Each structure stands twice: as structure tokens, then as C-alpha cells.
Structure 1
Amino acid sequence: MTPPRISFEFFPPKTLEASFRLWDTVHALSPLDPRFVSVTYGAGGTTRELTREAVGTLQKATGLNVAAHLTCVDATREETLAIADQFAEAGVTEIVALRGDPPKGSGGFTPHPDGFANSCELISALAETGKFTIRVGAYPEKHPEAADHAADIDWLKRKIDAGATEAVTQFFFEAETFLRFRDACADAGITAPIIPGVLPVENWKGARKFAMSCGTHIPAWVDNAFDKAIRDNRHDLLATALATELCSKLIEGGVEDLHFYTLNRPDLTRDVCHALGVTPKVTLRDVA
């Protein structure tokens, strides 16, 4: 089995302790030579400044190819594009363009009166600058706000047509979920690469809650397996085995790239990558 190309997602730290954890995560995973690493935005744009600072620091200090998340939430067009310009000035040439989650308790996404109405408008504006490679999100299972799965695929095609060159999916638990989605996208005329997003489960309770909130189907066998593993104190062993098996099936199905949601905790992700034959290649620049 040929080792896959990999990428990682981090989130910006809100405390000093979290800053150390992020740096430890970057230090542990960067030797695996990721294609890119991305840094998220919080719901409602709550970590906008933290994201900008984290992206700038990683870009300057590590030599990694850093992709910044950028959303439409609670900002004017001018403010959003100004942030994009700041990313470009920091040497960041890759953006993950998303509509973004609305602020908690808001009842749903409402465009800013002077902002982008949706992700397609944001993508189009970023593409017009000519400064960025643009990635977007994709849903292998129905988005909670979508009318049906066909609407998700149609919306993804609109995002690609607006200027995105690649998509990264929400996480899922069974390889067939992604493979069916990939094939349906191809049938719809989508030719851009679609990268499966993989979540090595650090905490089943948290992952289960997250899955339910974003419409990810939880197979009964996965739920039962984690319940038993937690009782037997074998949670991490199961999580590593399931993530490795999932990735192996994806690779057998023709997948060449995998994107890992690390949650700023590197151990399980690193173990899965090693099991897939992804071995250390580089070390962080200018780090003793």
C-alpha cells in the first residue's frame, strides 16, 4: 500500500496552556511532511484574531504550508477581505473558505448586511484577487441545513465553479460513506479533488456529540464498540485501530490524500499515520 499524502487541521489557542499544546502538536506532526496544515475559525468568527495570529506564527516559525480558515460570519465584505490581505502579507497563500457556523444561540446563519451572503460569494471574491489557492468544505452526508444530499453536491459544484480548487470533507465513520459521495460528485461533473476528513477519536463522548450536531451518522457498531472499550479501558487502542482501518479502506478505494482533524492532540493522529506507512521526513525549521 502506497502511503497517502496527509494534511492536518489545528485550532487557535485561547490560553497560554493551549498555546503550548498547539506548539507540541505542530512539533510532533510536522516531521510527517504534511501537504498543508489548516487553522480553524471559531463559531461566529469568535477566534478571528487568534486565527490570524496563529497562522502568522506558524507560517513564520515552521516553514509549513499553512492554510487559513476564513468565514463570512459577522463581518462586512471589506473586513473579510482585509483579513485575507493580512494573510497574504504574512506569506499565507492558501485559504479554506467557509460560510462558517453562526454564533451560538443565534438560531441560524444570517448574512451581515454588508457582508458575503454565502460561501460562493466569498470564494469568488478571493479568487478575483489572484492571491490564493482556495479549498472548501464538503459533506459526504447531508448537511443539517440542506434539503437533501443532491443539494449538497450541487452546492459543492457551485463552490468549485466559483474558484475553489479542492474540497475537504466533514468526518465520517465508514469508508463507503465517502466513496459513494466521491462517485456521486464525479457523476455530477465535479472534477476537483475531494479529500476525506478523518477524526481520530480522542474522546468518544465529545466526538459523538460533535457528530450528532453536524449530521454525521453514527453506526450502532461504532457506538457499541466505544462503550465496551471505555469499560475495558481500551479507548485509545480502539480509536487507533478504527481510524487506521478507515484510512486503509479509503486508500484501497483509490484515495491518495487524507486530512486529519487533530483537535491539537497529536498522539492518535501520529500513530495512525505511522500505521499507514507515513514516516518522519523533516524537522521544524529553526527549532532547537
Structure 2
Amino acid sequence: MKVTEHIERANGKPLFSVEILPPLKGQDVNCTFKTLDPLAELNPAFIDVTYHRQEFIYKQKDNGLLKRYQVRKRPGTVAICAAIQNHYKIDAIPHLICGGFTKEDTEDALIDLNFLGIDNVLVLRGDPIKTEKNFIPEKGGNAFASDLIEQVVNLNHGKYLDDDIQETYPMDFCIGISGYPEKHFESPNLAMDMYYLKKKVDLGAEYIVTQMFFDNHKYFDFVNKCREMGINIPIIPGIKPLTTFNQLTKIPQNFYIDLPEDLAIEVLKAKDKEQIKEIGLEWCINQCKELLEFGVPGLHFYTMSNSANTKKVAEAIF
């Protein structure tokens, strides 16, 4: 079922959804099931599965030559989505990115997803890998998320890269995109970020999932700006509880967002790890309750494949 259909059928009742990481190379699907089993009890409407590009590092050997080593990564997004839908009968949504794929690769992946009965894709440009100063698109690939949206829309209309294909069967993917209440870190300002968001919606995006945030006013302002610009598709807030001291610096560093002063001060005052977790969970629960009062279409939790904290929050609010 499409995300938009889930929202319509909920009749105003907010959805619960989660995002997980595929298992690391060398692990099996049971690692994913172990993460999801506790959350499946809460009947999530859908489960996002991230995609991780292949990366390499170079190390100097004793003879002075450089040797290329593959960084351990998380493959199998398409297969994990298929396994989730088969095992739990819950809609799984793969992340579809530009980096590392030609347009032909993307078309083949979408064909596979269509055969598997997957109805949704979350379209992203993707971040630069560690060896790139700036994002570098694959030769013959899509350079921007907007290009990728156009390719999905074309397939939804039965338009393939090979114009000679006759009697094509149209696909029917529901297209999700990301939104940044505190702007994407590469955008020069929020206004420019909003301009490109509107462009993606005009091209055919049907719902937005936001980057995580800890100050609800950032989300409220973002929604208001979207509506003023004529962006009227559902905007699902992305949520993650802060549960460790290191996250005070790691979350702003990795996700380019601010943490509220009140939250940071409470964490700094905490006596031990357990108290920090309690503070973070309480903040997240209160944050979610306020969002629900605002009338959000759902709450989307970034689990980082740690289900325990997400389950505690979800049980307190749903």
C-alpha cells in the first residue's frame, strides 16, 4: 500500500513508522528481524530501509605502495525490503539514491522493486562518500534528487530509457522525499532549500519525511513555510531520542542540526548514563505528544537499528 493511502485510511489517526539500517556485510536477515520483532508488535504502517554506498579506503603498505580496501558496508536494501514484506506483511520502503548508480542501474532496481510488489520509494540524492569532498554523481547517472524523481515518474507513465520498447507496462510508485526543517547543510540558506523542495514536489513527490529535529518549533515553522509556498503534501516528522552523552556532539556533527539549550543543559547535569537516557526519552515523549496535538500525519522514528528506545517512546504515545 502507498504511504499516501495509509494516511488517507487512517482518517486522521497518526501513523507510526520506523527507519532501519540493513545488516552489515557478514550478518544475515535475522539481525534485521531481531531489531524489528519488538517494533512489529506496535503495527508500524511502513518500514524504511536505508541504502549505503560502497566505499574504499587506501592504506600504505610496507613497500610504500597504496592498497585499496573495501569498507565494510550494509548491502541488500532491495532484498531486505522484500524479506520484511514477506515476513511481517508490512510495507517496506527502500531508499533510492543517485550516487553509485547509472540511470540503467536505477531503472533495473525499480523494475525489481515493482516485481516484488513494493509500492513506495524514498528518493534522495545521497551524501558524498568519505573520499569525496563534494557529491560526485555516477557517470551516466542522476546528479540530483529531482532527476531521480523524473526517472521514477517516467516509469510510472511507462516511459523507459529505451524508447524502442513497445507496449510498456506503467509502474505505480508512491514517491517520498526528505525535508530539512533546519535546511540541508549544503544549501546556502533556507529559502533556497525550500525552492528545491518545491521543485521536487512539482515534479511528482507525494509525501515528505523530515530530517530529525529536537525543537518542534523548527518543524512548525517548516510546515508553515511549505504551505505558504503551495506544498500541500503530507509532511511526516522524523524523530530520534537522544540517549547518550556523546550524542550531544555527534548528532549536530553528523546531521547538521541544533540541539535545544534546555535539553543540552539537562544532559550535562545528569549523574550517570541511565539518567541521560531517561532525560532523552522524556524529552522525546513530550516532543511527540506536542507534535500529535499539532495534527501530524504520523511519527517516523530513526532507530539506527536500536529498537528498544523507539519502542519505549512509541508505547508511551500510541
Q: Which amino acid aligns with 1:115?
A: G
Indicate the residue corresponding to 2:43 in structure 1: 33
Q: Which residue of 1 is the match for residue 285 of structure 2? A: 244
How do residues 104-183 of structure 1 correspond to structure 2 at under 5 angstroms? 104-130=130-156, 131=171, 132-183=173-224
Matched residue type, 2:207: E
Residue deviations 1:88-139 (CA, integer Å, cap 9, x gap):
2222111001000111131011222200020001011112212211100000
For residues 99 and 157 of structure 1, the distance between their equivalents in structure 2, rounded to whole angstroms, comes to: 15
5+ residue gaps, structure 2, are: 1-11, 56-70, 157-170
Identity of aligned residues (%): 30
Aligned to 1:282: none
One-letter code aligned to 2:228: D
| Structure 1 residue 207: Cα displacement | 6.3
Give the stretch that moved more between structures: 254-263 or 189-198: 254-263
Q: Check whether the contact 1:95–1:134 (CA below 8 A) recurs between aligned residues.
A: yes
Q: Structure 1 residue runs of 4+, over 4 Å off?
A: 15-19, 43-48
- Which residue of 61, 86, 90 maps to 1:64? 90
State the one-letter code of the partner of 1:52: V
Q: How does 1:40-51 map to 2 (within 5 A)?
A: 40-43=50-53, 49-51=75-77
Indicate which of 172, 185, 192 corresponds to 2:233. Answer: 192
Deviates more, 1:19-28 or 1:50-59: 19-28
Deviations 1:36-84 (A, max 9, x none): 1100012568857421221121122211111111100022110122112
Q: TM-score, normalised by structure 2?
A: 0.81
TM-score (structure 1 length as normaliser) = 0.89
Structure 2 contact 234–297 (Cα < 8 Å) conserved:
no
Aligned amino acid, residue 229 of structure 2:
A
1:43, 1:104 within 8 Å by CA — same for their partners in 2?
no
1:235 deviation in Å?
2.2
Greater shift in the superposed pair: 85-94 or 200-209:
200-209
In structure 1, list runs of 5 or more residues that go unmatched: 279-288
Answer yes or no: is the 8 Å Cα contact 2:25–2:74 preserved in 1.
Answer: no
Aligned to 1:223: 264
Matches of 1:148 and 1:76, distance apart in 2: 30
Shift in Å, 1:246: 0.6
Please tell me whether the aligned partners of residues 29 and 80 of structure 2 are also in contact (alpha carbons under 8 angstroms).
no
Whose helix fraction is larger, Structure 1's or Structure 2's?
1
Is residue 267 of structure 1 aligned with residue 308 of structure 2? yes
Native 8 Å contact 2:243 2:278 kept in 1: no
Structure 2 counterpart of 1:221, one-letter code: D
Which secondary structure state, in structure 2, belongs to the residue aligned with residue 12 of structure 1? coil
How do 1:207-218 residues align onto structure 2 when only pairs under 5 Å count? 208-218=249-259
The alpha carbon displacement at 1:240 in A equals: 1.4
| Compared CA separation, residues 87 and 212, structure 1 to 2 (3 A) | same
Choose 211-220 or 34-43, whichever is displaced more: 211-220
Q: Tell me the residue number matched to 2:17.
A: 7
* Aligned position for 1:84: 110
Q: Which has the higher contact order (CA 8 A, sep 6+)?
A: 1
In the alignment of these two chains, the number of paired residues is 276
SS of the residue corresponding to residue 140 of structure 1 reads coil
Alpha-carbon separation, structure 1, partners of 2:54 and 2:177 = 18
Give yes or no for contact 1:95–1:133 (8 Å, CA) kept in 2: yes
Larger Rg: 2
Q: Give the residue type in structure 2 aligned to 1:120.
A: S
Aligned residue type for 1:164: A
Q: For residue 166 of structure 1, what is the amino acid of its counterpart?
A: Y
Q: Residue 97 of structure 1: SS of its match in structure 2?
A: strand
Sort the Cα spacing of 1:221 and 1:84 in 2 relative to 1 into closer, same or farther, 3 A. same
- Cα pair 1:58 1:66 within 8 Å, conserved: yes
**CA apart distance, 1:199:** 0.6
CA distance in 2 between counterparts of 1:9 and 1:232 reads 25
Contact 1:9 / 1:259 at 8 angstroms: preserved in 2?
yes
Aligned to 2:159: none
Shift of 1:227: 2.5
Structure 2 counterpart of 1:256, from 297, 300, 311: 297
8 Å contact kept, 2:23–2:75: no
Deviation at 1:190, TM superposition (A): 0.4
